[in-house]
A and B are shown apart, each in its own frame.
Chain A
Amino acid sequence: MRRRQELLLGALGVLLALGLCEAVGRAGLVRRDYLPPVSEVLARAVELAGDPLFLDGIGATVRAWALGLGLACAIAVPLGLLLGSVPVVDEAVRAIVEFLRPLPSVALIPLVSLLLGSGTETKVALIAYASVWPILFNTVYGLGETDPLAKDTLRAFGFGRLSVLLRVELPATAPFIAAGLRISAAVALILAVATEILAGFGEGLGIFIAQAGLATDGTRDVLAGVVWAGALGLVINSVLVWGERRLFPWTPEHRGER
């Protein structure tokens, strides 16, 4: 199947899905204010794009997302390089990491909001905690996959530990770090929205959704918010995938698909 055919079919699929939702919304299976037709939801979503208050909310969510993700990178990449290049340290902290990682990060929301209040710090801290893991593990894994020949060659020429790390290991690990970053970006968005929904006040996309959910016939607004959340996730993911393809076109993940 050619690329154009695929795109056409995809567009048809979107139309079909929209039509189906519209039909369900209009058929009266569920009360209309519970599940409004898609056309109304989309109209509301477009309308929201012109609402400066709503856009400020989106801005607040994206800011917290970016801050948290940046913080996670600043912690996870150096730590991953340390763990990956010094096996003793890796062994030593393995048990602690194995105990911290499976903890679902949303469960930390109550504790962290007791500690830090329910402002931006809480959001950023939780986002950073949740998005540290994928980046950290990908960094360690990527270091392990570095070509040993290149490392040995450089060492034979008398380069020190640090320059081997900077010249060979870091560039070889970069695609893995980028893939971890992409996973973390989705996790960070989940945490941003989840924290906001639970906080219930302040500004942000999650807060918009939570407050609309409390209103008597707010489903249209809730769904419009969900459309925005999905669009945000989609844009973030596409940008990161595009960036990865441009920066690291040789990785097997991106070689095959065109």
Chain B
Amino acid sequence: MRRLKAAAARGPLLRWTVLAVAVAAWQLTTRTHPSVYFPPPTDIARHTHTLWFSGPPTHAFLTPAATENILPSLTRMATGFALAAIAGIALGTALGRSRRAHALCNPVLQFARAVPPPALVPVFVVLLDFGTRMQVASIVFSAVWPVLINTADGVRNTDPLRVEVAAVLRLTRTERLRFLFLPSALPRIFAGLRLSLSLCLVLMVFSELLPGTANGIGFTLTDAQSRSDLLTVWAALVLLGALGYVLNTGLLAVEKRLLGSGDR
């Protein structure tokens, strides 16, 4: 038992030490062997600060570059994710409730899911032109499938015994949905949401990387690339990595809260 505790305490310490050593090694190597492509971490950190977080306190220290690029990206992503989640859960529940509807739609769904999402972005560019509408549409269209398919599977696999009990108790449709189908599908729904969240991030960046967009983190990336401004490229990468980490951690926290630890 004591050994286990010691190991648990050693884990995070070891983890962070190794990370710190890796970053320090990177710093040392790039200082002694300067490379245009791999700037030292301190330079990246300083550049990130001046680029986005050195604004006035009244704007929460955000610079205009941050409000003009980071906020639109986040808004588009949040809108896309919310729409995909709502549509996916609603349609998935409907499909999961009826075996017939599921059999009817399954091949079409499988095809829709198999299309690599970036291939669809040019279609949305033609239909909706460049801009937020096109970007949100391509995010929604790519991110809806994992939620939809997982919700349908989760609802379909509800314990038949509990369904019969619900019938005996004469629960109404909404009651059955609220107390039976959704709770039992929740773990699958969250698995789908996590997949679609990372797809949202990918599509958000991708739809902004295309020539023709005017703002966003992805735009910052291509813009910096075209000017060979490696520091900004690295800063944007760090920002996106941190964003991905925060979003995923946030969703996991919500999942833990909703599912409870003892439930599964």
A residues sitting closer than 8 Å to B (CB atoms) are 1, 5-6, 9-14, 16-17, 30, 34-35, 88, 91-96, 98-111, 113-115, 186, 189-190, 192-194, 197-198, 205-206, 209-210, 212-213, 218-219, 222-223, 225-226, 229-234, 237
Contacts and interface: CB of A to CB of B under 8 A. Distances in A.
Interface string B213-230: 000011001101100101
B165 interface: no
A195 B119 CA distance: 11
A256 to B, nearest CB: 10
Nearest to A195: B118
B254 interface: no
A114 B228 contact: yes
A1 B104 CA distance: 12
A98 B248 CA distance: 11
A61 to B, nearest CB: 10
Interface in B9-61: 10-11, 14-16, 18-19, 22, 37
Contact of B210 (A16, A88, A104, A198): A198
B205 interface: yes
A205 B119 CA distance: 9
Given A110-B225, A213-B126, A234-B111, A193 B118 contact: yes
B100 A9 contact: yes
A1 B244 contact: no
25 contacts: A10-B103, A13-B106, A14-B107, A34-B127, A35-B127, A91-B10, A91-B14, A92-B15, A94-B11, A96-B19, A103-B244, A104-B205, A107-B221, A107-B240, A114-B228, A114-B233, A186-B116, A189-B116, A197-B118, A197-B210, A210-B122, A219-B126, A223-B123, A226-B115, A234-B110
Contacts of A194: 116, 118, 206
Contacts of B240: 103-104, 107
B99 to A, nearest CB: 6
Nearest to B142: A190
A113 to B, nearest CB: 7
B83 interface: no
B123 A222 contact: yes
